[in-house]
Amino acid sequence: MKRGFVFLLFLFLLTSVSAEDWIYNSNSALISVNISSDIQLLGTVRDLSVNLSIYPKTSDFQTVVSQSTEPETDNFIFYWPQPSKDRLNFRVDSQVRTFEKIQPIYSKVKFPIPALASEYQKYLQPSELIDSDNPNIVNKAAELAAGETDQYKLMHKIGKWVKNNIEYDLDPSLVFSSKSASWTLKNKKAVCDELTTLFIALNRAMGIPARFVSGYAYTDDPRFRKGWGAHAWAEVYFPSQGWVPIDVTYGQLGDVDLTHIELRKGPDVTTSSAYYTWRGGEIQTKELDIDISLVSTSGTKISPLSIKASMLKPKVGFGSYNLLEVEITNKQNYYVPATLLIGVSEIIEILGDNINYILLEPSQEKKFYWIIEVEEDLDPKYIYTAYLSAGTLRINDTASLEIQKNNKVYSLKEMQEELEERQEQEEKILSKDISVDCDYSDRFYLNEEQKISCNFTNIGNVNFDNLKICLDNDCKTIDLKINQKVSLVFSYLADIPGEQDLKIRMTGKDISKTEYIHANILEKPEVMIGIENPESAKFDQEFEIKINISEGKSPVMDSKLKIYRNNIIIYEKNTGELPKQFILKMKGSELDKGLNNFRAQVEYFDLDGNKYYETEEFQIVLEKLTFWQNILHFFMHLFT
């Protein structure tokens, strides 16, 4: 039997980044960055200034080796008080030493982030383009964050989702206008700006600070003729650790290559690169001309990983399925992200993507798997040896596979079962917690309905669907996503007085929690009125009406006594502290003939300013008058 070899054509299929060796194998690069433009003056122009907002600056990942300006300026503001030419030029020439942008994170940073210093709050705020408060953004972020307790893993997971689910599209409608993160999430297409704003918005929705970086980077994409092009990426803040760069467009999810040159960064997308002010005539400006070239490289970069590839079954038959195992070891004591690519011969088909954006914890060993299928229509006269290669941009390993007609053929189901048995399952430690904050008066009145407003915030990393929340007998069902706050208003009717702790019960598939709010249940304020009065009075008789006022168990505020006779007020006085007796002295001659109807009314308030009334009625009869008493009574009441 003849033996044949199928040689591997191993293509690293990056969509945006050049695979040139110097990019990934050099420790540093010296890059020339020249920024220039000119201004056409129309008419007499005075006090012309140009405030340049983009230029190379020294940062954690790059060093400005030399920098000169023309005209000379120390603050990148070019100024011509009285220009003598119709055309003015300005330029900034820099040489920048760049390094691979990786911020080592040596240990787990807890998610959700418990607290942040005030200086980082601006990197959490939503904006027109980074609309992190959009419900669709919040829901997608919460879905991605479910079960995660490690901020680095969540950052990487968000970046991986954006990279795998949003198409890079150079449609002019995207290139020449900025779209919001929610638009990108809905339409699933973007250029680097939109990929970056979506990534930032998803992080901010989960309470993770992130900022926007503008600059230039190298690409071998043929659509960019100059190789270097304007670019955007992000940086994510890790408390007490620093800012971690991440370029979703290039699939560099935690380490950004040394071709990235920072020109500006901040909380939001900024489109203007220069600001012009002048007096007098008009000016015509041009876009900045930015020319970038590689000067030199230095050093050799060593891969932080080791890799080993092997086949589950070293020999298979035609049309068989098999399992490729790739074991990666992180040789560093910090998190290392990488792009893992699989290359196969033309008689092998990979089920699924041949590229995986992976993350390894400090010193972690991890295995990754791919199911492959062997072509069935092969020549039975040959024994085939196929090679499958697995690697990152700096290191790879190759596994070999013998394929022969008489070898055993494994089914897809068998390989799926093998995969389920071997695939490492990263256990999700579920943090299930809800904070409760209620706004209410801590005084309730018995048998009076109260409204209690409460905010429920998911501070864990598990989404709660169909969460039932009850205060006493008032129950509501909601969905509460990670980092989401929902406000609810409950009705409560107290039927027992005294100091009490009211129970708020939260139950769902992944949580059972009880919180208490304290309340003082008061009986409604009550005023008792006691009247001592004669049943009748003679015309020339003096008599007293005694009004005794007392209060119940709940305090009474600002009480006032009013006494009416036949619906006319005849007495009014603030009661002051209770109990108290009031004495009204009257004469029979002040009464109307016959029956006189009296009403004693106390107006009072509770501690919350609610008004109440208590009334007691009584009667006094003016006894029969003599002839002369009738005449006198007539004149006394003629004008009353």
Residue 514: predicted pLDDT: 79
Cβ-contact 555, 607 below 8 angstroms: yes
* pLDDT of res. 371: 96
State the CB neighbour count (10 A cutoff) for residue 460: 24
Cα angle 224, 230, 233 (rounded to 5 degrees) comes to 115
Percent of the chain with pLDDT over 90: 68
- pLDDT of 566 > 70? The answer is yes
> Going by DSSP bridges, is the β-strand pair 498-508/321-330 parallel, antiparallel, or unpaired?
unpaired
Q: Which 8-state DSSP code applies to residue 590? A: G
Which residues are bridge partners to 28 per DSSP? 99, 298
Residue 1 has pLDDT above 80, yes or no: no
pTM of the predicted model over 0.85: no
Quick one: what percent of the chain has pLDDT higher than 70? 93
Tell whether the model's pLDDT for residue 425 goes beyond 50.
no
Spatial separation of the C-alpha atoms in residues 136 and 142, rounded to whole Å: 10
Q: How far apart are CA 33 and CA 269, in angstroms?
A: 22
| Element containing residue 159 per DSSP (H, E) | helix 151-165
Q: How far apart (Å, rounded) are the C-alpha atoms in residues 349 and 343?
A: 10
Collapsing DSSP to helix, strand or coil, 417 comes out as: helix
Mean predicted lDDT score pLDDT of the chain: 89
Residue 513's pLDDT is 83
In angstroms, rounded to a whole number, what is the distance separating the alpha carbons of residues 67 and 79?
18
Q: Check if the beta carbon of residue 226 is closer than 8 Å to that of residue 283.
A: no
Instruction: Report pLDDT for 424.
Output: 46
Inter-residue contact 291 to 34 (CB < 8 Å): yes
Least confident of 10-24, 165-179, 446-460: 10-24
149: left (phi over 0), alpha (psi -120 to 50) or beta: alpha
Q: Are 342 and 350 in contact (CB under 8 A)?
A: yes
3-state secondary structure of 555: coil
Q: Report the range of poorest mean pLDDT among 400-404, 508-512, 571-575.
A: 508-512
Where does the pLDDT of residue 20 fall: very low under 50, low under 70, confident under 90, or very high at 90 and above?
A: low
Q: Residue 315: pLDDT above 70?
A: yes
Report the DSSP pairing between strands 315-316 and 396-403. parallel
Q: What is the pLDDT of residue 640?
A: 65
Q: Which residues of 49-69 are buried (b: 16+ CB within 10 A; e: fewer)?
A: ebebebbbbeeebbbeeebeb
| C-alpha atoms less than 13 angstroms from C-alpha of 491 in its C-beta half-sphere | 4
pLDDT value at position 8?
A: 36
* CB 41, CB 80: distance < 8 Å: no
pLDDT band with cut points at 50, 70 and 90 for residue 500? confident
Residue that wins the pLDDT comparison between 300 and 599 = 599
Greatest Cα-to-Cα distance within the chain, rounded to the nearest angstrom: 152
Phi, psi values for residue 192, rounded to 5°: -60, -35
Nearest-angstrom CA–CA distance, 22 and 31? 13
Residue 143's H or E segment, with its range, is helix 135-145
The whole-angstrom separation of Cα 550 and Cα 527 is: 6
Q: Does the pLDDT value for residue 429 go beyond 60?
A: no
Which neighbouring-strand residues pair with 66? 95
Judged by average pLDDT, the poorest of 9-23, 91-105, 322-336, 491-505 is 9-23
- Tens digit of pLDDT for each residue in 502-516? 889 988 887 888 788
Whether the pLDDT of residue 227 is over 90: the answer is no
- Does residue 6 have a pLDDT over 80? no
Asked if residue 210 lies in contact with residue 113, where contact means CB atoms within 8 angstroms, the answer is no
Eight-state DSSP code of residue 334: S
Domains of the chain, earliest start first: 2-18+301-422 (2.60.40.10), 27-100+273-298 (2.60.40), 101-257 (3.10.620.30), 434-522 (2.60.40.10), 527-636 (2.60.40.10)
